[in-house]
Amino acid sequence: MQSRTFRTRSEEETIALGRELAGELTGGAVLLIGNLGAGKTTLAKGIVEGRRAASANEVSSPTFTLIHQYGEETPVYHVDLYRLDEASAVEKLGLEDLFASGALVLLEWAERFPSLLPRVRTEIRLRALLDETREITITRLG
């Protein structure tokens, strides 16, 4: 298990870090873990833009739609499980099919359903510090 930690000091820096990370996130499950307001969707904006699936301005939180797809040829899926309470509801979304497709799947609040996650995944933990800095730690599992 290998971890790296970054710090960003603004929304623009967080998006820029996402753009940088996009090249190394080739596919599969990427958990975006953090409290409300930690910067999960902001980082997702940079990752999606870095994958050339959409511009950062087009990326929004899928809180109510649950899944957004960006791009066609090499899609990036952005999933938000915040509003789901039971694993059975999550299973109905078809995440296993998304994981099997080889597409990049960005998951917010997925840590609430550990039994449904693939063993091989990347976890990105975001934490807002007192001075508006974000601490972002990336760990590859499996």
Please calculate the CA angle 85-90-93 and round it to the nearest 5 degrees.
140
Confidence (pLDDT) at 89: 94
Residue pair 107/76 in contact (Cβ under 8 Å)? The answer is no
Provide, rounded to the nearest whole percent, the portion of the chain with pLDDT above 90.
92
Confidence (pLDDT) at 1: 65
Closest by Cα among 16, 24, 13, 10 to 139:
24
pTM: 0.95
The pLDDT tens digits for 70-102 are 999 889 999 999 999 999 999 999 999 999 999
* Architecture in CATH of 2-141: 3-Layer(aba) Sandwich (3.40)
Q: Euclidean distance between the first and final Cα of the chain, in Å? A: 8
6, β-bridge pairs: 136
Residue pair 67/77 in contact (Cβ under 8 Å)? The answer is yes
- Mean pLDDT (whole number) for 106-114: 96
